[in-house]
Amino acid sequence: MPNTFGKLFSVTTWGESHGPGVGAVIDGCPPRLPIDAAEIQAELDRRRPGQSDIVTPRKEEDRVEILSGIFEGRTTGTPISLLVRNADQRPGAYDEMREKFRPSHADYTYEAKFGVRDHRGGGRSSARETVGRVAAGAIAKKILAHGVAGGGVEIRAFLTQVHDIVVPAAALEKFPSLAEVEATAVRCPDRETAARMIERIKAVRSEGDSVGGVIECRVRGVPPGLGEPVFDRLEADLAKAMLSLPATKGFEIGSGFSGTRLRGSEHNDAFETREGRVRTATNRSGGTQGGISNGEEIVFRVAFKPTATILQPQQTVDRQGAATELIGRGRHDPCVVPRAVPIVEAMTALVLVDHWMRQGAQNQVFKF
Amino acid sequence: MPNTFGKLFSVTTWGESHGPGVGAVIDGCPPRLPIDAAEIQAELDRRRPGQSDIVTPRKEEDRVEILSGIFEGRTTGTPISLLVRNADQRPGAYDEMREKFRPSHADYTYEAKFGVRDHRGGGRSSARETVGRVAAGAIAKKILAHGVAGGGVEIRAFLTQVHDIVVPAAALEKFPSLAEVEATAVRCPDRETAARMIERIKAVRSEGDSVGGVIECRVRGVPPGLGEPVFDRLEADLAKAMLSLPATKGFEIGSGFSGTRLRGSEHNDAFETREGRVRTATNRSGGTQGGISNGEEIVFRVAFKPTATILQPQQTVDRQGAATELIGRGRHDPCVVPRAVPIVEAMTALVLVDHWMRQGAQNQVFKF
Amino acid sequence: MPNTFGKLFSVTTWGESHGPGVGAVIDGCPPRLPIDAAEIQAELDRRRPGQSDIVTPRKEEDRVEILSGIFEGRTTGTPISLLVRNADQRPGAYDEMREKFRPSHADYTYEAKFGVRDHRGGGRSSARETVGRVAAGAIAKKILAHGVAGGGVEIRAFLTQVHDIVVPAAALEKFPSLAEVEATAVRCPDRETAARMIERIKAVRSEGDSVGGVIECRVRGVPPGLGEPVFDRLEADLAKAMLSLPATKGFEIGSGFSGTRLRGSEHNDAFETREGRVRTATNRSGGTQGGISNGEEIVFRVAFKPTATILQPQQTVDRQGAATELIGRGRHDPCVVPRAVPIVEAMTALVLVDHWMRQGAQNQVFKF
Amino acid sequence: MPNTFGKLFSVTTWGESHGPGVGAVIDGCPPRLPIDAAEIQAELDRRRPGQSDIVTPRKEEDRVEILSGIFEGRTTGTPISLLVRNADQRPGAYDEMREKFRPSHADYTYEAKFGVRDHRGGGRSSARETVGRVAAGAIAKKILAHGVAGGGVEIRAFLTQVHDIVVPAAALEKFPSLAEVEATAVRCPDRETAARMIERIKAVRSEGDSVGGVIECRVRGVPPGLGEPVFDRLEADLAKAMLSLPATKGFEIGSGFSGTRLRGSEHNDAFETREGRVRTATNRSGGTQGGISNGEEIVFRVAFKPTATILQPQQTVDRQGAATELIGRGRHDPCVVPRAVPIVEAMTALVLVDHWMRQGAQNQVFKF
């Protein structure tokens, strides 16, 4: 089931960029959770196009309709089907894509794999598919906020880098608030850096070019014990979740790639008892050890490549393999990373709820 | 099934570091593949302890026994059960671990999750578990070498970094041969760099310390079309496979984290027709686009933290949460990365065979 | 994923009887299959209420909308999302069900499991859920008719029993045509028996009572080799598929329960060579041996209990456990079995396509 | 994963009849369960050959070895690997099977599917494979007896029919004790009927023939709420479990096939409050409604065909399709049904523990 994520809290997304709509079915959502369309809509509004002057002006409301699984304001334990109609269908705008493969897009590989593709706006490979993920993630977030370990699991993603502009480490010492992240169009909690990022994005856009960046995601309030070695380690499932997002090229947790330059004596997180429970003095592990959460903050980073669509002529080939030239068109984000923030949070929430439920299966059984 | 990897070519590993043995069951292996114990043994010998003077001197032959699924030298399509007895059981050597949590190991998290653990040598969280992965990977490698796309899929992993010693880019321009990789104890194809890495490992070992590093893995011969969007993207499954390995902290494919510093116009891989088929002029994508292989070399890197076991006193707590000190003992690798090379290759092979078989399900059906 | 059926050709159904709609998402459908809404609609029309004078007069068109996965008349290999809006919502008609548990319905067990339920018309437990199965089955049937083993897999279900009226064995010697089955309102290919069945159904309806019956399903054209021992035997997956249908109480294949009264010497199917291939002289096995199809006709039967809703007073309890009386209301089928025929066929098609694709994964790999 | 059963409590079996051994890996067993090899051995002894004078005299001890997952007498939550060596290997005894297909065995279908097979004693298709199921079932039974709903889930299978000899209904009014079942060689709790069954089995054996029969299985103590509609209904998973056993041809729950002859007014189970909780006055439902347990006794029956191996000449073909004759040899049960009793119980236990754990996932989350 290549379009399903999660073993117990399972989300199946469907839909193409320019078909009738996109959506998701959530199977396994526990019953009795109070939730309504407005709460899901709020997360969709965070990923919506047209929300600021540095993202695509594509005009879509992305209005969610709940088709099943919620009755009188509460989940019933049956599948929740969510539908968002596509509004912005412009027939003809994508005719060139039918024959030419856009560089560093999925046009060629979809054609190679399936022998057919919906070329309009990238079809299934469009980031529009993530609408379903964000909608499902809104429900997962509510579970985490209220249902897990007495409540209080909080997920916060934000930009730490755009092109070569990097947030200073000092600015990230404390857990950023949602307000701090949402305060800037680039979703970087450091206002000064955010301003420079915005300036850079506008500059490359004016040249018809694009840039990438890095998102950091932190989670606090996760109890020790989540994660299922040896293969379904918590960080393994987070890595898969992140690399399943369009435009991602890397994932690291805790000390990540830079940790390879430390010695064991510098890298190890000493244990201590703090606030009545076992804690680590440092957090180079990034919140998991041996694939299982240790109760510390989960910290990971995701690399996003520069947007593949650029408004400059590029060399490519057509479906017959003949050399040709292509000029990007349409309305695209010169930097997708700010809009990816709610998507990273959604996928994180899906992973955590799924693992929380898996832990429940074990807890159910034993009183021994 | 937290101990199973793969949807169609499925590998379940079992076993603890100091229990009776470790092993794997492979379900879904296609029938009629010629394979014998010696071919599996050859891969196990590459990960075996005691193979050079920079790895742990733990003395285990790791002799594999085939218990089922292979008849008269060929697979039968039924489950293949592989068993490796543990030989090096030293009762009493690990008594201290019963009560004290080793920093940056999984002792505490296993205790938190399960309420019980086999403390001897890390039990299930020991890298000894990867014996089963390597044994299964040997079979997957043979399928790739002979059965896929006319044969010829070749996987090569090697070290590009130990501590702060990095292979020069120029030394990696061509696809390294197996002989070049195996020529040095650190499995780095650049001899000069390898010598410096070995020196560094010996130096930190003499101080009772440890170091980490980076493995690069390249795969050539993969046909276009492998990978199952949107969630089971090829790179997503590779990321999960790598982050499921002990001591890993990061994964990146193609341009990875450094690609975030390029512009779209610098990063995009232009298409061209070469050798009669669609190719890309550059390979910043790392062999996949939109989650599907594009026929170019697959290139990814994995970050390994420094070995958590060091022979220095460390602060920790015991099971009651009382502060205590612990001094690493036993025979450990000061740098696990060289022995991780065959493990990275094994996991890569498992991912590729699984995706090749998934593609087969589609191909079966249609002649349309 | 309790609402998903199939490992490679996976169908997820969603929706409640009186919510906004019902539907299905099909993940894993091979690309390039020509299919349009009319072909799906044709199967839905076979299960639709109001199609004859012995079924419920509930008036719903059950008009299917394709939301994704089909482009320019062909499947694209991406998820196919299908939506059928519920039209016949009568607020207030089901108020009594909110508090009282209907005997032999799922009201009590849903309440016990989930602590909440959509009581309107049975909510999720209503047979209306099978709309999604039939829609997905229409696609599977087309694959079987055209894509498998050169085409020509044909599935035919029909009634062999209503209450104590049983079709004579002689009437079932040949494979019934679709026209013969659809010729009578009860979908029994023997006209004389059908007339008696219809009479019986009308008689019990006039008394506010209901009856059950038996469906036989035959499949011809299945090649040898489908089925995945030891657990995913073809008959095991068929049994699961049938027992997952509302109102079913039994499944038997080939000789079934009556075969237990034969001796081995009477029961065994001798092999012979016929029409140039290995065949069995008899077919007490029912088309599978050891869990794998043997190329003979697949023959199985499914037992359906009498409709639980009857228009007579019944003893029951309310949510507080207090004794009360309930009189069935609403518009119900006095015998659900005729409308279950297309549903049995749909589930059979889902099982067969899934196993055909699983076989493809094996075939992909080896040329050895 | 065709050789794995269960989603959370997952059992993978492996092994061929005449290979080195058979076994199972249990993944997902909750931690801290006290269990030792003797408890597993006790169940294996119940299915062992040679236990009475009406079963095969094949002499195998079937001694189980625990290879992992149990430490100091308790499960650790990691995979439990169990191994039983095959002792009775008689090279040459099965040479005829290499070329000839035994009627109503799986020789032909395995050859058709895989293109290769281990012909010795049926290889993987031998009922010897069920050793792994019974071993895993022993652990599941212990969980059910002690860990579920305060303890006390009890599973009891027994024969109700051999050939045309049927236990009188009156003899089955109460839940049979284990002692009553084990008291007779045929595992029928009615001594008088058992004596006739034994006589019949001996009579057909003396003629080189075989007979089948029916097993009934009852489960008491199951709390309401187990089962996962719409596809993973409790009865659907039980049906699959039973039809996955060698030689089974049918499954029915509660009123089963005979219930199709009742009217709704006769068949419905009225609700009442008894012993302080909601109960049904009758149990034609067989313990589940809408796919979910209702707290009543679960009652189902399984049809077993007569043993395919008979010591009489039979017509068949060889691998080239040429007509030939075959005379059954070797030591076989003239009636496999008595030895199938512990296997039916084992599969039932696997289904129930898996569903109990799935219910735990839901319960974990909500306090709402």
Over 80: is that where the pLDDT of A164 sits? Answer: yes
Residue with tokens 């006390």: D152
Half-sphere exposure of C174 (CA within 13 A, CB side): 7
Residues C4 and C240 sit within 8 Å (Cβ to Cβ): no
- Closest residue in chain C to residue A85, using alpha carbons only: C67
Residue A290: pLDDT band with limits 50, 70, 90: very high
The string over D317-340, giving b where at least 16 C-beta atoms fall within 10 Å of a residue's C-beta and e elsewhere, is bbeebeebebebeeebbbbbbbbb
Please name which of C131, C11, C153, C164 lies closest in space to residue C64, comparing C-alpha atoms.
C131
Predicted pLDDT at C196:
98
> Angle B130-146/B337-365 helices, nearest 10 degrees?
50
- Closest residue in chain C to residue A81, using alpha carbons only: C14
Q: Over the stretch D140-179, which tens digit does the pLDDT of each residue have?
A: 999 998 876 667 899 999 999 999 999 999 999 999 999 9
Query: Cis bond leading into A230, ω under 30°?
Result: yes
3-state helix, strand, coil in chain D (%, to 5): 35, 25, 40
Please name which of D244, D239, D243 lies closest in space to residue D256, comparing C-alpha atoms.
D239
- Using an 8 Å CB-CB cutoff, list chain A residues near B304: 260
Q: Does C71 touch chain A (CB under 8 A)?
A: yes
DSSP per residue over A226-287, as a string? Answer: --BTTTB-HHHHHHHHHHTSTTEEEEEETTGGGGGGSBHHHH---EEEETTEEEESS-TTTT
Please name which of D137, D149, D133 lies closest in space to residue D39, comparing C-alpha atoms.
D137
Residue C46 and residue C162: Cα distance in Å, rounded? 19
* Residue B220 backbone dihedrals phi, psi, to 5 degrees: -120, 150
Cβ of C67 within 8 Å of Cβ of A20? The answer is yes
Number of cross-chain residue pairs from A and C with Cβ atoms under 8 Å apart: 152
DSSP per residue over B131-192, as a string? Answer: HHHHHHHHHHHHHHHHTSTTS--EEEEEEEEETTEE--GGGGSS---HHHHHTSTT--S-HH
Q: Residue C22 has which token pair?
A: 């019902």
Say what percent of chain C tops pLDDT 90.
86
- Using an 8 Å CB-CB cutoff, list chain B residues near A226: 113
Q: Which of D108, D125, D254 sits opposite C294 (nearest CB)?
A: D108
Phi-psi region at B295: left, alpha or beta (left = phi > 0; alpha = psi -120 to 50): left
Q: Residue B78 has which token pair?
A: 């039924």
Residue C262 and residue C255: Cα distance in Å, rounded? 9
Mean pLDDT lowest among A94-103, A274-283, A345-354, C275-284: A94-103
Distance between terminal CA atoms of chain A?
37
Subunits that touch chain C (at least 3 Cβ pairs < 8 angstroms)?
Answer: A, B, D
Question: Three-state DSSP class for B274?
Answer: strand
Q: Over the stretch C333-349, which tens digit does the pLDDT of each residue have?
A: 899 999 999 999 999 99
- Closest residue in chain A to residue B294, using alpha carbons only: A109
- Closest residue in chain D to residue A352, using alpha carbons only: D365
Rounded mean pLDDT, A223-242:
97
Residue A263 and residue B206: Cα distance in Å, rounded? 13
Residue A217: pLDDT band with limits 50, 70, 90: very high
To the nearest whole Å, the CA of B336 is away from the closest chain A CA by 12
Q: Does A116 touch chain D (CB under 8 A)?
A: no
Residues C293 and C283 sit within 8 Å (Cβ to Cβ): no
Per-10-residue mean pLDDT of chain B, 368 residues long, equals: 97 97 97 95 91 74 96 97 87 83 97 94 95 98 81 93 97 96 97 98 96 98 96 98 98 98 98 96 98 98 97 95 87 91 98 95 69
Predicted pLDDT at A58:
65
- Using an 8 Å CB-CB cutoff, list chain C residues near A10: 1, 4
Rounded mean pLDDT, D125-146:
95
Residue B138 and residue B11: Cα distance in Å, rounded? 12
To the nearest whole Å, the CA of D30 is away from the closest chain A CA by 5
Q: Residue A124 has which token pair?
A: 């299934």
| Cα angle D197-D198-D203, degrees, rounded to a multiple of 5 | 95
- Strands of B16-56 (E only): list them: 21-27
Predicted pLDDT at C167:
98
To the nearest whole Å, the CA of A110 is away from the closest chain C CA by 9
Over 90: is that where the pLDDT of A222 sits? Answer: yes
Q: Does B323 touch chain A (CB under 8 A)?
A: yes
Over 70: is that where the pLDDT of D267 sits? Answer: yes
Residues B16 and D78 sit within 8 Å (Cβ to Cβ): yes
Distance between terminal CA atoms of chain B?
37
To the nearest whole Å, the CA of C67 is away from the closest chain A CA by 5
Window 165-184 of B: residues touching A by CB (8 A cutoff) are: none
Flag whether the pTM goes above 0.90: yes
- Eight-state DSSP code of residue C261: G
Residues 6 or more apart in contact with residue B90 via CB below 8 angstroms: B18
- Eight-state DSSP code of residue B128: G
Low-confidence ranges of chain C (pLDDT < 70): 57-59, 88-91, 148-151, 330-331, 365-368
Residues D248 and D214 sit within 8 Å (Cβ to Cβ): no
* Residue A96 backbone dihedrals phi, psi, to 5 degrees: -65, -35
Q: Does D361 touch chain A (CB under 8 A)?
A: yes
Please name which of B182, B120, B127, B102 lies closest in space to residue B336, comparing C-alpha atoms.
B127
Over 80: is that where the pLDDT of D55 sits? Answer: no
* Length of chain A measured in residues: 368
User: How buried is residue D275: exposed, middle or buried, by Cβ count under 10 Å (0-12/13-18/19+)?
Assistant: exposed
Q: Which of B19, B32, B78 sits opposite D115 (nearest CB)?
A: B32
Predicted pLDDT at D365:
66
Q: Does C271 touch chain D (CB under 8 A)?
A: yes
Q: Residue A71 has which token pair?
A: 């009755």
User: How buried is residue C271: exposed, middle or buried, by Cβ count under 10 Å (0-12/13-18/19+)?
Assistant: buried
Q: How far is CA D110 from CA A204, B313, C351, D319, in A?
A: 62, 60, 19, 12
Report long-range pairs for D271-278 (Cβ below 8 Å, ≥24 apart): D271/C101, D271/C103, D271/C108, D271/C315, D271/C316, D271/C317, D272/C315, D272/C317, D272/C323, D273/C317, D273/C321, D273/C322, D273/C323, D277/C321, D278/C101, D278/C108, D278/C112, D278/C317, D278/C321, D278/D224
Predicted pLDDT at B146:
82
- Closest residue in chain C to residue A71, using alpha carbons only: C118
Residue D213 and residue D204: Cα distance in Å, rounded? 13
Rounded mean pLDDT, A182-198:
97
Cβ of D366 within 8 Å of Cβ of A32? The answer is yes
- Using an 8 Å CB-CB cutoff, list chain C residues near D306: 259-260, 262-264, 266-267
- Closest residue in chain C to residue D271, using alpha carbons only: C316
Residues B140 and B350 sit within 8 Å (Cβ to Cβ): yes
Number of cross-chain residue pairs from B and C with Cβ atoms under 8 Å apart: 83
Subunits that touch chain A (at least 3 Cβ pairs < 8 angstroms)?
Answer: B, C, D
Rounded mean pLDDT, A247-263:
98
Number of cross-chain residue pairs from A and D with Cβ atoms under 8 Å apart: 83
The string over C66-99, giving b where at least 16 C-beta atoms fall within 10 Å of a residue's C-beta and e elsewhere, is bbbbbbeebbbbbbbbbbbbbebeeeeebeebee
- Using an 8 Å CB-CB cutoff, list chain A residues near C123: 71, 76, 78
